[in-house]
Amino acid sequence: MLDYIRSIGQVVKNSEGESDRVGLFQKMDSETSESCDGIIDVNINDTADAHGNYVSVSATRAFTREVSKEGLFYVKSRTYIGAMLRQNQYQSDKNKEANKEAKKNEDVGVEPAKKRKREPKPSSNVSKCLQFLDLSMDRLDEVNSKLDAKIAEKVAENPKYNYVILFTRNGKKPFEIDSCRKKFIELYKRNILHATDTPGYCHLCNRLVNSRFESCGLGCYTNDKSVYYKTYGSEADRSLPFGVCDDCLADLLYGERFALQYLTVWWGGLKGEKVIFLPHQFNDDIKLTFETNLIGDTESNKGFLARIQTNEADVLGCIGTGDYAMDVIFISAPAGRSEWKIQCVIENVSTSRFAKIAKLQKIYQTRGGETSDGREIKIRNLQLKTIIYYLVGNFAEKKGFPAYEDIFATNEARYYLDVILHGVEINRREFFVHVMSIFWRYYARDKERECIMTIHRIYNFLVDCGCLQHGWNMPLYIGGENMVAPYLTIDELFERNPERFSSDFRKAWFLLGNVYGSIRRDMKSARSDRGGDYATKLVENAFITDRKFNMKDFNEIARVCWEYSCAHNTEHYIKTRLANAIDLIGTGSDVEGISPDEIALYFVWGQTQYIGKEKENEDTGDADENPDNNTTDEENSDKNDE
């Protein structure tokens, strides 16, 4: 992974030129990135003013994240560099002083133990800032007294006031002082990168150099350190667990900056979880592709990947214009942390695979149209998050809508994404168990037709991706236009889809479901006043949801449907299809051994499949094939963007 980051950095550095090392070293997404109420500026002059004061504390100004850069601030764990303090750092000083004073009072009359003389170290975070600015500690008391007064004033106005403190010298910010910039680089190399003067080979470029860095500052990327560990070089060189030269270090930092800005996005999951699309090859053309944003907000400086939430198919299609492989890396990057943790890596995904997936997403889009009340139904491409939501089979909602946005928070969801991106075959029985568990939840809400259409699109998508077998020619409406005509007869449906209806057993369950659906619609229609015990059973959802879909259930459903048809003299085609179903089921044996959940799908497929000439949306009033109450998280995202 480090090699990929380094190759990205080489291209970026060559095309944009060398930039300031301080900017590369500073972690702008570190713990200082949280917003504050204001900035307190503390200036220390080398000479006193007319009143004998060396220190001035100015009125607070509005907070800006650039203050970290101005103060040359960097913090990671216990390592602290710069001349800026956060509120908790300053408060820590006050707590230490209070504890020290309390201990001093307790030790009155106790003879102190002898201690070795050592070089005095800064006793507080404020003194560390003064030392960084090369200021005398004689100014410490004046700084503390005036700073305490200003903070007390602000806290009196607002007890929850949150602040950062920036120290300056002679009116110049640390970033503007050459000696401070040089000191920052030296401290960073020594404390963060662990610079060593031991000659040896760089583990990335294999050049013999006089000095190296035992760390590249990218602990989050170095899960492949073992690849370079003790592989070549002298015995002395192999004593270092990891080492990079100064040039490779620069390349890594340039690569990291580009990756964070253009290759890292939130695609779903919990807060702080992101995805990196990391190309194995990189050149100026690939760089321009990721920097250019032709989707949505073209003025955005984040590149086209930033639109993956609302324009997933278009984004994946843009990735597919290249000819290289990439890794899809899921990371946990909580706000306020300078580094993150790798959760999952999907390796070696061809860009052509992204192109194929994007094409299929548009082929299996929803129909769209207009309902009887004049409401417009948007055409929506099939989303990978929707597919994986059904594959996982864990029904979850957020504010009344499917929790698509949280789907990548689980390893199971990431596994299914890996399967789709590589075209690995899915266990067929497991697929139907999961999708039918989602279906029955929508069935209870009388949204079976919309849900089964989603399942059909997902099923055929996975067949075309190589993850399942035996697809079928389902009616398609690409761009709102009818690309595959609906079926006029059931015989036509069977004949054109021999793989899906490869046995009389499958056809029988489909026909039984079709009869059941026709009778339910007849009973629910406004003109129907038919009743009876068996009629009440047929309308109740529990009559179907509690079934095991074995021969006992087939006979039970067929019997009740037949009694209803005879008692109320239903249309002739209903009795004919029911008779055909009974004939086709025969002995009830299934030579192919399909699972009960797949049998259930054939039944509800027959129940919801429309056979005949295409209906007008205005007549049916159910043009929307989205089971989520005609609103999706995608729509909500659009509203948030606006």
pLDDT number for residue 529: 55
* 3-state SS, residue 79: strand
Mean pLDDT of the chain: 82
Q: Output the six-digit token pair for 294.
A: 């032709």
Most confident of 79-83, 206-210, 509-513, 548-552: 509-513
In a domain, 108, yes or no: no
Choose the final residue of a domain: 431, 463, 484.
484
CA distances from 529 to 408, 525, 535 (A): 49, 9, 11
Choose the final residue of a domain: 464, 484, 504.
484
Q: Output the six-digit token pair for 433.
A: 């168990």
Of 377 and 383, the one with more pLDDT: 383
pLDDT number for residue 636: 41
Confidence of residue 114 (pLDDT cuts 50, 70, 90): low
In a domain, 148, yes or no: yes
Asked if pLDDT for residue 611 goes beyond 60, the answer is yes
Asked if pLDDT for residue 600 goes beyond 70, the answer is yes
Are 503 and 578 contained in the same domain? yes
Other beta carbons within 10 Å of 37: 15
Of 467 and 574, the one with more pLDDT: 467
Q: Output the six-digit token pair for 509.
A: 């369950």
Are 203 and 305 contained in the same domain? no
pLDDT number for residue 620: 40
Asked if pLDDT for residue 98 goes beyond 80, the answer is no
Of 73 and 116, the one with more pLDDT: 73
Of 491 and 617, the one with more pLDDT: 491
pLDDT number for residue 422: 96
pLDDT number for residue 630: 41
Q: Which residues contact 603 (CB under 8 A, 6 or more apart)?
A: 509, 510, 512, 513, 516, 544, 549
pLDDT number for residue 239: 52
pLDDT number for residue 396: 79
In a domain, 635, yes or no: no
Confidence of residue 496 (pLDDT cuts 50, 70, 90): very high
Threshold 0.85, pTM exceeds: no
- The neighbouring-strand residues paired with 42 are 57, 167
Are 477 and 537 contained in the same domain? no
Of 374 and 51, the one with more pLDDT: 51
Confidence of residue 567 (pLDDT cuts 50, 70, 90): confident
Asked if pLDDT for residue 533 goes beyond 70, the answer is no
Q: Which residues contact 490 (CB under 8 A, 6 or more apart)?
A: 510, 511, 514, 577, 611
pLDDT number for residue 102: 66
- DSSP letter (8 states) at residue 172: B
User: What pLDDT, in 10s, does the model give residues 244-267?
Assistant: 899 999 999 999 889 988 999 999
pLDDT number for residue 526: 40
467: closest CA among 408, 421, 513? 421
In a domain, 641, yes or no: no
Q: Contact, 510 vs 602, CB < 8 A? A: yes
In a domain, 101, yes or no: no
User: What pLDDT, in 10s, does the model give residues 424-448?
Assistant: 999 999 999 999 999 999 998 888 8
Are 530 and 553 contained in the same domain? yes
418: closest CA among 353, 332, 331? 353
In a domain, 113, yes or no: no
Are 235 and 149 contained in the same domain? no
pLDDT number for residue 105: 61
Exposure pattern of 345-364 as b/e (b: 16+ CB <10 Å)? bbeebbbebbbbbbebbebb
Please provide residue 521's backbone torsions phi and psi, each rounded to the nearest 5 degrees. Answer: -65, -40
Are 227 and 327 contained in the same domain? no
Asked if pLDDT for residue 398 goes beyond 60, the answer is yes
User: What pLDDT, in 10s, does the model give residues 169-210?
Assistant: 999 999 999 999 999 999 999 988 888 887 888 888 888 888
Q: Tokens 């602990």 appear where?
A: 219
User: What pLDDT, in 10s, does the model give residues 213-249?
Assistant: 887 777 666 554 444 444 444 555 455 556 889 999 9
Are 349 and 366 contained in the same domain? yes
Are 79 and 176 contained in the same domain? yes
pLDDT number for residue 244: 87
Q: Contact, 167 vs 120, CB < 8 A? A: no
Other beta carbons within 10 Å of 193: 18
Choose the final residue of a domain: 262, 278, 299.
262
DSSP string of 21-74? HHHHHS-TTSGGGS--SEEEEEEE-SS--TTS--EEEPPPB---TTHHHHTT-E
Of 333 and 471, the one with more pLDDT: 471
Q: Contact, 513 vs 600, CB < 8 A? A: no
In a domain, 628, yes or no: no
Least confident of 379-388, 416-425, 567-576: 567-576
Confidence of residue 527 (pLDDT cuts 50, 70, 90): very low
Least confident of 269-273, 545-549, 556-560, 628-632: 628-632
Are 496 and 392 contained in the same domain? no
Most confident of 33-37, 152-156, 435-439, 482-486: 435-439
pLDDT number for residue 425: 96
Of 97 and 642, the one with more pLDDT: 97
Confidence of residue 640 (pLDDT cuts 50, 70, 90): very low
Of 362 and 113, the one with more pLDDT: 362
Are 390 and 350 contained in the same domain? yes
pLDDT number for residue 50: 80
- Structurally, the chain folds into a number of domains equal to 4
> Distance from first CA to last CA of the chain, Å, rounded?
37
**How large a percentage of the chain has pLDDT more than 70?**
79
In a domain, 626, yes or no: no
pLDDT number for residue 310: 86
Asked if pLDDT for residue 631 goes beyond 50, the answer is no
Structural domain harbouring 151: 38-94+123-190
Are 142 and 236 contained in the same domain? no
pLDDT number for residue 530: 53
Q: Contact, 220 vs 342, CB < 8 A? A: yes
**Rg of the chain taking only CA atoms, in angstroms:** 34
Are 568 and 519 contained in the same domain? yes
pLDDT number for residue 223: 52
Confidence of residue 633 (pLDDT cuts 50, 70, 90): very low
Most confident of 88-97, 265-274, 449-458: 449-458
